[in-house]
A and B are shown apart, each in its own frame.
Chain A
Amino acid sequence: MALLITCPNCGSRAYTEFWFGGELPAPPPAPGAPVDASAEFGRVWYRRNVAGLQAERWFHFAGCRRWLTVQRDTRTNAVHAGD
């Protein structure tokens, strides 16, 4: 298997055991804190879609059913490090 993801709970596993959760978004505003509408709109709707190293979320549905963040090179699928 080429695209392998190291799950902190389950070890090195094939990507087919995971659901892709997209780019790691900017942290959401704290609940109840005042919200800058345009910044919030951008956070919800815009993605960077980089060609290169990207921090992204994967959900290990066929294993521990926990989320993890990985650094993946979108050009080569090389997974570099956990979060």
Chain B
Amino acid sequence: MPAIDFEGRSVPIHAGDSVASALYRDGVRILSRSFKYHRPRGLYCVSGDCAHCMVTVDGEPAVRSCVTPAANGQRVARASAWPSPEHDVLVSAWWMRALLPVGFYYKLFAKPRWMWPLAERYIRRVAGIGPVDTTARPGRILRRNHHPDVMVAGGGAAGLAAALRAAGRGESVLLADEGAIGEKVAPGPTRSAIAKLLASARAHPQVTILEHTRVTGLYDGPLVIAAGEGVAHWIHPARIVIATGAVEQHAVFPGNDLPGVWLGRGAARMAGVHGLAPGRSTVVVAGTTEALEHVETLRKSGTVIRLVVAPAAIAPHVPSGIPVVVDGTVVEARGGRSLRAVVIMGPAGRTVVSCDALAVSLGFVPRDGLLRQASIGIINGAGDVVEPGCTVARAIASGEAAAERPLSAPMSVVPGVGAPPGGGIVCTCEDVTTKELSAAWDEGYRWTELLKRYTTATMGPCQGLLCHQHLRAFVVSRSPAGPAGAPTTARPPARGLTMEEAAAGAEHAIEQRTVLHDRHIDRGARMDWAGAWKRPASYDDPLAEYWAVRRGVSVMDVGTLGKYRVCGPDATEFLDRLYPVDVRTIKPGRSRYGLLLNEAGHIFDDGLVAAMGANDYFVSATSSGADAAEAWMRDWAETWRLRVHIVNQTTALGAINVAGPSSRDLLARLTKDPVDNDTLPYGGLRKITVAGIPCIALRVGFVGELSFELHHPRSRGVELWDALLAAGKDLGIRPHGLDTLKLLRLEKGHILVGQDTDFDTTPGKIGLESLVRMNKPYFIGRSALERLATRPPQRRLVPLRFAGTNAPDEGAQLMDGDRHVGYLTSSRYSPALECGVALGWLATNGGSGPVRVVAVSRGQRRDQGEVVSAPFYDSKSVKLRG
């Protein structure tokens, strides 16, 4: 016989069992201990709403056992009790509750200050619903996208009717329900009606049904997130119908959370669906006509109905032979670890009735967590969620209407409130009593939103399904006029969502590869993300890569650079407005480094502007900014209505940087074109043919050595790469990766936009004023820089030198004595200079700032540093002009 492993023993399971029903059949009555007071909790709603039945299943905490199908071999355990959930000494918290007043964690252990860390450690251990397994595991949850015309949340009568109506009109429909559809409903006319609708929906080719799938939230788009078995569904519908039904009203009286106290539908479900009686003798509170069906269902399961408490309108319909108290109320439930008796207040006075089960049906509260998240008009509610307690026929009509309703008129459903709660536990998820609400009210928290935040009522796993109406009723009873009792804001997730489900699909990122990707892998490169690109961070020997550039020759795949051809009659005018450098004076065959500024004067990208001919330019941008730079250029070309063509060649062209003192010798072996310093000087460019491949060669200086950036047709990239490496073998050629590049450029004091710059970095703050021609009449950001020029910058990016072989951490904090004065953005050990070199932001307060600082790295490591001038390496920049 199939069985689950429950805390080390085997519990048999029957067909159709939930985890909860299997445990209940086996005699387990206490499924959890409450969050704060460790009160015993057993089955209550049996509809996936309350937190009473939460257990740990296969290592995952906070699983609602009543809606989780039992499966052979499942490991199930309860949490947060000591020594056991049956005999939990931590329940002493309840008897000492006078010492744990509302908001106690703000007050009780706050002084002396050393108390709090100790208290926090204890509270973390005893509170909650089980520890989270924090061991990393690969994503087992897939993300799946759906694009239906209509999304229906909830597979009851209203939801199915809505789905069928929409499908009948030819629309595609996706319907999700958190359980197996219809199986939560006890046998009876409602169940039969749902079964009939379900059969039609299943047969309809336009309807897709997802069962065991929790709709957790609505987002802009609209986007609906639903968590299914091993799949996170991202649903992008045109319209949404919310038909999530209603939950029976939570009754508040002393002892209302004892095991043995059930919501009527919950007891009926356990009896009717699983054939398990809620107890030996049961008292039924029949405030709804549906409760009369429950009486029948419960009787069939073998319990004795001791008493029915019903209003005058319903009392005559109670089956004969059952004692009835007309117009009575339950005022108390008594018992220790489970229910022993209830106290009824009737017209004739108090009666104590001994029983071990109480089924309470007082009315219905909409399960409207999703509906209240909706603020857009394409979302309709249907059935119980808008008309709690409606008949099946009404629900079907409502569902059909919701499928038809036009897309205007945003819906807002603000249900009324009933009587204020009596004594007892209002919020069972967070253990908030009526008395605690009163205390919070007296402390001045006199609004639903404030009471919610201070007491945490409605903030637990059920997200206020049980207690939101009581919270509002409590406020309205004390502040009848005015807005204090307004509903609190509903936010996603409406149902629990695991971190794994929330992260589903995060690993499905699109990976951009250069044409040389496989060559890097073959050489054993460690690949790293750079925006959407995968780039080699390093090959086998970073130090050898470094020395190859500084002393020999090396190649780097820079095919990821943003590359654009900008031409047309207004090309010069266009680029001159775009860049703060002077573009008009760039002669054909020459290039200039430029920053890109936004209208606020802040740097967002940088690159080269190279003149190919008159009004014909080759422009580069950073790898990660390539797309944004294109969008930026197109936006302005259009705004100014200039005659200019912009062709994005980022992926059409490959690029290889050939760098190092021997790079010219290497090129000369592969080309007949002149590459000498007069024909192709630093800052120059020229079309040359290398190894038979047409290239644009740019003399660049980012790494601080003689270097040639070869832009070539992407299709010839592998050929060029192989030719360079083969021809340079005797020169000790080897490729270098991003790690080496970052060190090489840092030795030259060159910034990396985004690493060394912030969102509000102006050229002046990083010492690049020389790249801004304020004497030009116009460029983007000019007027902002003019305005900012009246205020000297309060901080500057400065070069720093650190003694020793161990450079401070990137991100290390800079101290001047006791004063915090900045932080490092780049920091490396320089093998050539045999010291640490860094760039960092330093508070200058309009002046020059301190010269000697201490960098504090992780673990309180301290390094003495000195503000110097850049470049660190080859300060006259002779080598790169070589």
Contacts and interface: CB of A to CB of B under 8 A. Distances in A.
Interface of A: 1-3, 14-15, 19, 21, 27-29, 31-32, 35, 37, 40-41, 44-45, 57, 59, 61, 65-67, 75-78
B329 interface: no
Contact of A44 (B222, B599, B630): B599
Contacts of B635: 21, 57, 59, 67
Contacts of B378: 2, 76
A39 B358 CA distance: 71
A1 B777 contact: no
Nearest to B630: A65
Contacts of A32: 777-778
B376 A77 contact: yes
A78 B410 CA distance: 13
Interface in B342-382: 375-378
A35 B777 CA distance: 11
A2 B237 contact: yes
A2 B236 contact: yes
Contact of A66 (B410, B627, B634, B777): B634
B221 A31 contact: no
A66 B786 CA distance: 32
A59 B377 contact: no
Contacts of A35: 783
Contacts of B376: 75-77
Contacts of B1: none
B115 interface: no
A67 B634 contact: yes
A2 B236 CA distance: 7
A59 to B, nearest CB: 5
Contact of B600 (A21, A37, A44): A44
B631 A61 contact: yes
Contacts of A2: 221-222, 236-239, 378
Given A2-B236, A40-B783, A76-B378, A15 B221 contact: yes
B778 A31 contact: yes
A37 B789 CA distance: 13
A6 B784 CA distance: 35
B375 A75 contact: yes
Contact of B787 (A1, A27, A37, A57): A37
A65 B221 contact: no
B639 interface: yes
Given A2-B221, A28-B599, 8 more contacts: A2-B236, A2-B239, A61-B631, A67-B631, A76-B377, A76-B378, A76-B407, A78-B407
A19 B631 contact: yes
Contacts of A61: 627, 631
Nearest 6 pairs between A and B by C-beta? Answer: A31-B778, A32-B777, A35-B783, A32-B778, A44-B599, A59-B631
Nearest to A78: B407
A57 B639 CA distance: 12
A29 B638 CA distance: 14
B577 interface: yes
Contacts of B651: none
Contacts of A66: 634
Contacts of B784: 40-41, 44
Contacts of A59: 631, 634-635
Contacts of A44: 599-600, 784
9 contacts: A2-B221, A2-B236, A15-B221, A37-B787, A44-B784, A59-B634, A76-B407, A77-B221, A77-B222
Contacts of B648: 65
A66 B635 CA distance: 8
B507 interface: no
Contact of B639 (A28, A37, A41, A75): A28
Contact of B238 (A1, A41, A45): A1
A32 B782 CA distance: 10
Contacts of A77: 220-222, 376
B171 to A, nearest CB: 13
Nearest to B646: A65
Interface residues of B, number: 32
A38 to B, nearest CB: 9
Given A75-B375, A76-B376, A31 B640 contact: yes
Nearest to A40: B783
A40 to B, nearest CB: 5
A44 B777 CA distance: 19
A75 B640 CA distance: 32
Contacts of B221: 2-3, 15, 77
A31 B638 contact: no
A37 B786 CA distance: 9
A67 B638 contact: yes
A64 to B, nearest CB: 10
Contacts of A29: 783
Interface string B185-226: 000000000000000000000000000000000001110000
Contacts of B238: 1-2
Interface in B390-428: 407, 410
B268 to A, nearest CB: 39
A41 B221 CA distance: 32
A1 B599 CA distance: 35
Nearest to B640: A31
A1 B236 contact: yes
A2 to B, nearest CB: 5
B147 interface: yes
Contacts of B375: 75
Nearest to A38: B787
Contacts of B599: 28, 44
Nearest to B636: A28
A19 B629 CA distance: 13
Contacts of A45: 600
A37 B783 CA distance: 7
B147 A1 contact: yes
Nearest to A27: B639
A58 to B, nearest CB: 10
Interface string B633-647: 011001110000000
B234 to A, nearest CB: 11
A19 B628 CA distance: 10
Nearest to B239: A2
Contacts of B377: 75-76
B577 A31 contact: yes
A69 to B, nearest CB: 10
A6 to B, nearest CB: 15
Contacts of A78: 407
A65 B647 CA distance: 11
Q: Which of B410, B599, B648 has the most CB of A within 10 A?
A: B599
Interface in B584-643: 599-600, 627, 630-631, 634-635, 638-640
B471 to A, nearest CB: 28
A5 to B, nearest CB: 13
Contacts of B640: 31
Nearest to B151: A2
Q: Which of A3, A27, A31, A32 has the most CB of B within 10 A?
A: A31
Contact of B777 (A19, A21, A31, A65): A31
B173 to A, nearest CB: 15
B18 to A, nearest CB: 35
Nearest to A66: B634
Nearest to B781: A44
B180 to A, nearest CB: 29
Contacts of B630: 65
Nearest to A43: B599
A81 B542 CA distance: 56
Q: Which of B378, B631, B784 has the most CB of A within 10 A?
A: B631
Interface string B778-819: 100001101100000000000000000000000000000000
A31 B407 CA distance: 45
Contacts of A75: 375-377, 410
Nearest to B599: A44
A40 B778 CA distance: 14
A78 to B, nearest CB: 8
Q: Which of B237, B375, B778 has the most CB of A within 10 A?
A: B778
